Amino acid sequence: SSKVDPNIALVKRLDQVIDRLDAINTTQAQQITGAQQSGKSSDDIRLIEQYLQNEQNRRDRVIVAGQNEKDEVYAKEVKVEPAKETLKFNRAALFVGPNFGDQSGVNVGARGYMQILDSQFDFAPDAYVTFGKKTGFGLNANILYNLPTFLDGAITPYLGVGLGVNSIGGVSRFLPNFVVGTSLGNVLGGHVFVDYTARGAFRNNQLAVGYRFNF
């Protein structure tokens, strides 16, 4: 019997794998087109696109080719699990609120949220400026823990602890932070939140109201 050229066998196998991947992409495109033609809303179409993207991410594969001990050429798909990000920057917020204690004023600031792995913990650095009789500023780094939600996700309480440098009237202090707060239900794609932060032995206190953007 004639011996099959291993290179030709490998090329044919790769063609089969590529054809299968092309068929998957074609099916996804047809689903989106069908949704558009059926008059579904843009929100429905975005949900379909997001679902298909998630499916594609779970389906990510590489093609591995080689030759076994019997000189048989093979090619197969191997699923590649995406590497988990230690810190995933997926939210940002603006906040404003009164500051009281050693100095009374109004704090205006911004905060970032980086989810730690796939946990309920967030690394949340923030920066603010204090406006009052004496100006001030603060740079803080906190770890927040999101507690179980209430009322079908309408209320999500959280607790936090961290460290920061806070300056009032030219006097800077390195202080521990203790945070307690809650975020409210979806508002225009983001969340309104209210939290209280005690810095030091309650020498510097902040009550903040803010809006958190998701991305």
Domain extent at residue 109: 87-214
Per the structure, the count of domains in the chain is: 2
Domain boundary (59, 79, 99) is at 79
Q: Are residues 69 and 94 in the same domain?
A: no
Q: Are residues 209 and 106 in the same domain?
A: yes
Q: Are residues 70 and 175 in the same domain?
A: no
Determine, yes or no, domain membership for 68.
yes
Q: Digits of tens for pLDDT over the chain (215 positions)?
A: 455 455 566 666 667 766 776 666 666 666 656 655 665 555 555 665 666 566 555 556 666 666 677 777 666 666 666 667 788 898 999 999 999 887 889 999 999 999 998 899 999 999 999 998 888 899 999 999 999 988 887 899 999 999 999 887 778 889 999 999 999 988 888 899 999 999 887 778 999 999 999 88
Positive or negative CA dihedral for 198, 200, 203, 204? negative
CB within 8 Å of 59: residues ≥ 6 apart: 24, 79
- The predicted model scores a pTM of 0.62
Measure Cα distances from 60 to 63, 115, 143, 200 in Å: 10, 23, 33, 49
Determine, yes or no, domain membership for 205.
yes
Determine, yes or no, domain membership for 1.
no
Extract the tokens encoding 177: 């932070």
CATH code, 157:
2.40.160.20
Q: Are residues 35 and 96 in the same domain?
A: no
How crowded is residue 210: how many other Cβ atoms within 10 Å of its Cβ? 21
